Structure 1
């Protein structure tokens, strides 16, 4: 069983990005990119362990503005409510940075670690970042797994009103208890109804994320980057790498229609998980890893066959 590592950062895209690498240094790399407001520890170690034990090297990162990566608090922060109003009116959004900068951060980490190509696995916003890497730097990507993510088509269904209202409200105060309770409620709202997590396990998980570092201001900047990004449908259709999409039928944050459209656009294999919400519950982590490994192993086998010819 592999344990978490001491914090290590690397200079990528002119900022400090925290990362962890697991597994044999000569093994093919699987890069894990998580979503809005989430540090790398949102990727459960049970999943990291399963991928490493299958013979792969696993790289996970803290996206900018979260975890132990650099916080960009020096950037001006537009009024969030006004930006949402502008979005509804069809006006241009002005995020502190575009989502392509998070793409450049991830590519910068690969550069700094001398990783020529990787299999990308992205959750939610991480799926969007992974899609952007595949679109803009296809030579760096062996395969793409997009989990509970979207093409960013503005016509797709929006999050449920209950989830949207909660996310916009924020914690009742800056006390540790109120912050913990806020994030606990978030996960309960977006979690998988068919794969419930006990309150004690959820509290342990959320506390681990808070201990790693969740920046409220950073989350707002990331959110603006998401809502200010463009529709990638046509670009995804041009991908020539293997792509698969994993999405739950009970996702209240990014409804399953977004996953279906992503799969349609990229001509990807679609894995629909009945009763899965917008999380990675313990009960289905092995299944998700199996799907990741099935695609990754297929690509690596094809590579070995081609090299032997």
Structure 2
């Protein structure tokens, strides 16, 4: 039986990231890339365990999250450096190639890895994200829609993001985070507040603090477009279409599947911008059918 292994990896001068591995060491590697300001524990334990039955699964804390270093305030970095970190994690763990699964900002970082280092990627699964491409979306009726005209983030989420985060203690912070997950989860599946409260409690215990960094929101996001590279892609790519997605709503996944050459689309009904237990089974099935079929 495999064991969970924790290890720190130096990804840049003065930048050390916490990593965790589980699954047979000789199984094909699978790298989980979480979203903005989210640590590795955003990937639910049951889903990670299910994937680890077939893969050597790696999850890690981004810079300025979890147990990783927090260099931004003294040494600001661009968002693109977070994609370089993903490759550096593979380097630090001695992994030549991996399946890459990215959620939200992690889906953008996975696109950067796919475009800039395709030789390191066995396959990619992208969810809850947008295309790093200027190519317009083509509707079913043949009409082209400029990227700037695709639907944006739900107003209630933008309003919550704009509010200053005040410190009223741990339980109040948990209340705030659960309210955030309620919005992110969409309105097509019942919301399990207790599940997300316990998830966030484990995230806070892992980090040792309930103070969140805003580093990723403040980081320079320029220079991330990869229109030509994605159009020339030759790596197997799966795009997950979440029907209740409120951050990058439909047709963002359809657009992504159009602009990444060879990509295929799978729909998970009811899924929003979160990973509640109700989507673990369908998501596990979709990912493993993709990775094991490569």
Alignment partner, residue 84 of structure 1: none
Superposed counterparts of 1:86-165, under 5 Å = 96-152=76-132, 155=148, 156-165=150-159
Q: Kindly indicate whether the alpha-carbon contact (under 8 Å) linking 1:19 and 1:62 is maintained by their aligned counterparts in 2.
A: yes
- Give the alignment's Cα RMSD to 1 decimal: 2.2
Which stretch shifts more, 119-128 or 232-241? 232-241
Shift of 1:252: 1.3
**Which stretches of structure 1, 4 residues or more, deviate above 6 A after TM superposition?**
none
Shift of 1:167: 1.2
Shift of 1:194: 2.7
Q: How many residues align?
A: 277
CA distance in 1 between partners of 2:102 and 2:192 (Å) = 25
Alignment partner, residue 247 of structure 1: 241
Superposed counterparts of 1:160-199, under 5 Å = 160-199=154-193
Alignment partner, residue 266 of structure 2: 271
Alignment partner, residue 7 of structure 2: 8
Q: After superposition, give the CA deviation of every residue in 1:182-229 in whole Å (9 maximum; x if it has no partner).
A: 1111101111423323222221112112222377663x2212347545
Shift of 1:35: 0.3
Alignment partner, residue 33 of structure 1: 33
Question: Does the residue aligned with 1:120 lie in a helix, a strand or coil?
Answer: strand
Q: Kindly indicate whether the alpha-carbon contact (under 8 Å) linking 1:233 and 1:262 is maintained by their aligned counterparts in 2.
A: no
Alignment partner, residue 288 of structure 1: 283
CA distance in 2 between partners of 1:145 and 1:32 (Å) = 10
C-alpha distance 203-107 of structure 1, shift in aligned 2 (>3 A): same
Shift of 1:132: 0.4
Superposed counterparts of 1:295-306, under 5 Å = 295-299=290-294
Instruction: Give ranges in structure 1 of 5+ residues lacking alignment.
Output: 77-95, 300-309
C-alpha distance 215-160 of structure 1, shift in aligned 2 (>3 A): same
CA distance in 1 between partners of 2:166 and 2:212 (Å) = 15
Instruction: Give ranges in structure 2 of 5+ residues lacking alignment.
Output: 134-146
Q: After superposition, give the CA deviation of every residue in 1:258-292 in whole Å (9 maximum; x if it has no partner).
A: 21111111131111223221011211211111111
